[in-house]
Amino acid sequence: MDTLDNSEWDVVIVGTGLRQSLLALALSRSDKKILHIDENDYYGGAEAAFSLQEAEEWAKSVDESSTAAAFFNTSVTKPDLSPDSSTPQLSPSRKYSLALSPQLVYARSALIQSLISSKVYRQLEFLAVGSWWVYTTSSGNQALREPISIHQTDSIRGSLLKVPSGREDVFQDQVLDFKSKRALMKFLRFISDYEEQPQEWKKYEYEPFTTFLIERFKVPEVLHAPLLALTLTSASSDQVSTMTALPRIARHLRSIGVFGSGFGSVIPRWGGMAEIAQVGCRACAVGGGVYVLGKGIAGEGKYSEFDGKLRLKDGENITTKWCVRDHAPSGIPAASDNRSVTIVSSDLAPLFPSLGEEAPIPACAIINFPSGSIPVEGWDQERAVPSVQIAIHSSDTGECPPGQSILYGYVALSGAQGSQLLKKAVESLLASVDITPAPTILWSLQYEQRCIPVNGSGSLHMTWGEGMLTFKQSQFDLAFDDRILDEVKEIWQKIMGEDAGDFLVFEDREPDIDDDD
Amino acid sequence: MASHGISRTSGTLVRSEEQRQNELQQIATYKDLVDLVNTKVAERQYTVEVLGLVTKLLNENPEYYTIWNHRRRVLIALLPATPPDSDDASSPERPHEFIDGDLQLTFALLRKFPKCYWIWNHRNWILRKGESMSDTKLASRLWSGELQLVGKLLHADSRNFHAWSYRRDVVAQLQRLQAKAADSAAVRGLVESEFEYTTKMIKANLSNFSAWHNRSKLIPRLLNERQANGTTRRKMLEDELQLICTAINTDPFDQSIWFYHQSLMSTISSDCPRESMIVQDLSNGERLRHYAREMEYIKEILEDEADCKWIYESLLSTASFYVQVEAGTKAFTTLEMQSWLDQLRRLDPLRRGRWDELGRRLNL
């Protein structure tokens, strides 16, 4: 078509982020006339993946003036690398695929099931998430167990301890004393069906999880950090309630072994959730959906009654029955998280031990830095520091060339303190890995991401007028949250109405249709 | 029904009328095939055609063991009678095609029915037949191939006792061939690696009866191969006790771990047959020290797991070993033993008769 002006649609989807793309996938077999636009000139929105150059351009393009933009305060650091051949160098831009959303997906997640039942799983590759580690300094805790390295660098002296994720890990642990092992095992047995025993934890629901561990299971402090690491939240240790921790730990432990022994979650290859977003859009395009990049909606989106008319930024007027988009900020100042992407000159092999004979090679390692393990300048000692999460992706993901790895950092702390904390965490991590040559930082990107609060109503999405549906945003989570799928399903049901059929359940298309294998 | 902690799923029970008719048809066809095979065999028609019919039937129902017997009769008739000389320069590189064929058949069937006795049995028979028709080199290759195969099957299901038992047989055959070639280093190497294998399997999954059992069988053999003296043997016993105690501490609710503990305790007792002993010259004093230490250790676990019945059973069992050596012991009292028995009655009331009998045996 030559122009979108005066075109009529059944559904207009704005933005090609993961939510919108999953919706596009869900609608790909319907007979709806779909227009899917994105004001960026790339797919993926907030879940996109970038080459090095694209990342640098993205960092520059971020709108620092708006208090509503999802991303802000970006900066790229490129250490001076002497050009002689012995110093590791940055590779060409296209060798990298840096993810804005490096999430892991638990084995029992509904997302995996949906990708299979919608048949798009064949276009995706998944890699195993391997070991989880906790960073500790010897000032904080006594030497807990055989550390993989104690490395002294100026004032930093830390080590990485593997988190036990089941009975056999606890069995092989060399340093925990017998009583601590018993306490931990008792807790692990409890968590396997904790929902059936509400009397054990109901009264601790809103109490800190650590209190519950001590009072109910006599789990010694030495084990708090590893167990908190399994919750994969950035909240500080005293902020994590029992009600938050239990389902997350249960999800982690119940997922282990589902796809193969030794691991419980996977990451998509080639750049995090961006791949899944691409696959969703591709499916919708095959089904007849029209895709236009570099097109946005005019107006800041204060929604009142939606009358079916939309105006695009280039001036086109279109009409549609349904419009689905991200929810615009409500003007309430939003908290923000600090994020970072660091390219490192080493494969950090000690952090990726084998998962067992004939098990898949892990491509992701998770490092947790508990409250207090990294000092923060000027911090009010009364409050606990949020914990830092770093997900390391190996080159098997295709996100960087062999011999390098990507460190994705996340901390629920805004401003300079947050970005300093992330930087220090990355440095401490690299200093504590026993590998020669010592790893160096080749490039890094820091940014902040707003967690835009939306007034909570029961529903997962917001409806404006007869046809405007908006996705609520949520705070970044290193693990894919299945509620996103629920959100997509609610919107899909609204659009499809009565003859909806099953959500994301399709038959294979005719064999002549393109099917990447 | 849950067996040893693993639940079994039941198949679907609801059938439509169409499905039922299909099944009736399948049953009729199957019965015809059975009749045909049985008739041909009764008429001693040991031909390739009958072999084909037998194959078809066995693919339908490998559990029909008589048909496996028939198969062996047919094969004996079809295979060459005289085995080649062991040093025959024209000895085959590959086993006879019928041997090969049956190896493939049993392999395919084992993947679908890994717990069918008759398939394992037939495969074993085939290999022995194959060996009798080959030179030593080919025979070694056949049996080594088996070791790899059973390794893969155990990787798929590490608790399949058929596979473990087959593994022991394969190892024994390999050792026989190695002994024939006077290769004692290889024999020892195989025992060591089998022992390592059990360690690896246990580390992957503590709850593996067969792995622990195999380990218990290997240890006396291992000590013999290492020509271990009293000190080495004592060290081995200590290490194994340490290992099993760590396992008990990690999961006192797992039965397979307690079984191995029990088997170690039985090697300490004076009743132990010589070929199963770990230490061959234990003094009574040493025995008592072991028993006392075990009981103390297990009692410590009671602090955290007062409701674990295996602990009480084990305490009573160790106490009775102790009392066999020293009747008038002060290490524990009759009152204590009585209280452990009461705990068993409380925790496992369905086995009341068993606890009563145990009490009588221990004079409680």
Q: Is residue B322 in a domain?
A: yes
> Is the backbone peptide bond immediately before B62 cis, with ω within 30 degrees of 0?
no
B242 shares a domain with B266: yes
* Rounded average pLDDT over B118-139: 91
Backbone region of residue B210 per phi and psi (left: phi > 0; alpha: psi in -120 to 50; beta: other values): alpha
Q: Tell me: do B184 and B163 sit in the same domain.
A: yes
Contact, A366 vs A407, CB < 8 A?
Answer: no
Q: Taking CB atoms and an 8 Å cutoff, what residues of chain A touch B305?
A: 182, 186
Domain that holds residue B60: 19-80+94-133
DSSP string, A33-93: -EEEEESSSSS-GGG-EE-HHHHHHHHHHS-SS-SS-SEEEEEEE------STTS--PPPG
Candidate from A168, A182, A261 with C-beta closest to B304: A182
Distance CA A323, CA A306 (A): 9
Q: Which of A104-108, A353-357, B19-23, B58-62 has the lowest mean pLDDT?
A: A353-357
State whether A357 and B155 contact (CB < 8 Å). yes
d(CA B100, CA B218): 31
| Contact across the interface for B305 and A261, Cβ inside 8 Å | no
Q: What is the CATH number of the domain that holds B353?
A: 1.25.40.120
Looking at the fold, whether B200 and B166 belong to one and the same domain comes out as yes
The answer to whether residue A517 scores a pLDDT higher than 60 is no
CB distance B249–A181 less than 8 Å? yes
Kindly state whether residue B87 falls inside one of the protein's structural domains: no
- Residue contact B204–A167, C-beta within 8 A: no
Asked if B155's CB is within 8 angstroms of A358's CB, the reply is: yes
Q: Which residue from A168, A178, A186 is facing B203, i.e. has the nearest CB?
A: A168
Beta carbons of A123 and A94 less than 8 angstroms apart: no
Cβ-contact A335, A454 below 8 angstroms:
no
- Is B89 part of any domain? no
Please report whether residue B12 resides in a domain: no
Task: Answer yes or no: do B119 and B151 share one domain.
Answer: no
Instruction: Name the band, by pLDDT with cuts 50, 70 and 90, for residue A385.
Output: confident
Mean pLDDT score, A157-182: 87
On whether residue B6 sits in a domain, the answer given is no
Of A170, A185, A356, nearest to B204 by CB-CB distance is A356
Residue A154 reports pLDDT greater than 50? no
Give A264 to chain B, closest Cα distance, Å: 15
Query: CB neighbours (10 Å) of residue A457?
Result: 10
Q: Are residues B31 and B55 in the same domain?
A: yes
Name every residue in B having a CB less than 8 A away from some CB of A.
Answer: 155, 200, 203-206, 246-247, 249-251, 253, 300-301, 304-305
Q: What's residue A70's pLDDT? A: 84
Q: What is the CATH number of the domain that holds B31?
A: 1.25.40
Give mean pLDDT, residues A181-188.
92
Same-domain status, B31 and B44: yes
Does the beta carbon of A359 lie under 8 angstroms from any beta carbon of chain B?
A: no
Distance in Å, alpha carbon of B247 to nearest chain A alpha carbon: 6
pLDDT at A456: 52
Q: Residue B277: inside a domain, yes or no?
A: yes
Residues B194 and B221 in one domain: yes
- Among residues B227, B259, B279, the one where a domain terminates is B227
CA separation (Å) from A458 to A330, A471, A490, B47? 18, 13, 12, 75
B174 and B252 both lie in a single domain: no
Q: How many domains does chain B have?
A: 3
Domains of chain A: residue spans and CATH = 8-51+271-329+455-496 (3.50.50.60), 94-144+154-268+333-451 (3.30.519.10)
At residue A64's C-alpha, the angle toward residues A75 and A50, to 5°, is: 50
- The position carrying tokens 């022994």 is A261
Domain boundary among B172, B203, B227: B227
Is there a contact between B246 and A171 if contact means CB atoms under 8 Å apart? yes
Of B200, B250, B300, the CB nearest to A171: B250
Contacts with B306 from chain A: Cβ below 8 Å: none
Q: Could you tell me if A8 and A318 are in contact, meaning their C-beta atoms sit under 8 angstroms apart?
A: yes
**Which of chain A's residues have a Cβ under 8 Å away from the Cβ of B200?**
357
pTM confidence score = 0.84
CB contact under 8 A, A171 and B203: yes
Residue B155's pLDDT band, with cuts at 50, 70 and 90, is: confident
Tell me what the mean pLDDT of segment A477-495 comes to.
92
Q: pLDDT value at position A330?
A: 65
Average pLDDT over chain A, rounded to an integer: 87
Q: How far apart are the CA of B188 and the nearest CA of chain A, in angstroms? A: 24
* Nearest chain B residue (CA) to A218: B304
Task: Answer whether A181 touches B (CB < 8 Å).
Answer: yes
Residue where a domain terminates, one of B179, B197, B227: B227
Per residue in A321-361, pLDDT (tens digit) is: 999 988 776 666 678 899 999 999 999 999 999 987 778 99
- Give the A:B interface size as CB pairs under 8 Å: 36
B363 & B339 share domain: yes
Q: Do A185 and B246 count as a contact with CB atoms less than 8 A apart?
A: no
Does B188 reside within a domain?
A: yes
What ipTM was reported for this prediction? 0.81
Please state the length of chain B. Answer: 364
Over range A281-287, report the average pLDDT: 96
Interface test with B, best of A171, A179, A358 (most B CBs within 10 A): A171
Asked if B305 and B252 touch (Cβ cutoff 8 Å), the reply is yes
In a shared domain, residues B107 and B140: no
Q: Are residues B72 and B56 in the same domain?
A: yes
Q: Do B301 and A182 touch (CB under 8 A)?
A: yes
Residue range A148-167: average pLDDT? 66
- At residue A151, does pLDDT exceed 50? no
Is B5 part of any domain? no
Do residues B239 and B341 share a domain?
yes
Q: What pLDDT was estimated at residue A143?
A: 39
* pLDDT tens digits, A232-266: 998 888 889 999 999 999 999 999 989 988 899 99
Cα maximum dimension of chain A? 74
Percent of chain A residues past pLDDT 70, beyond the cut: 89
Residue A302: is its pLDDT beyond 80?
Answer: no
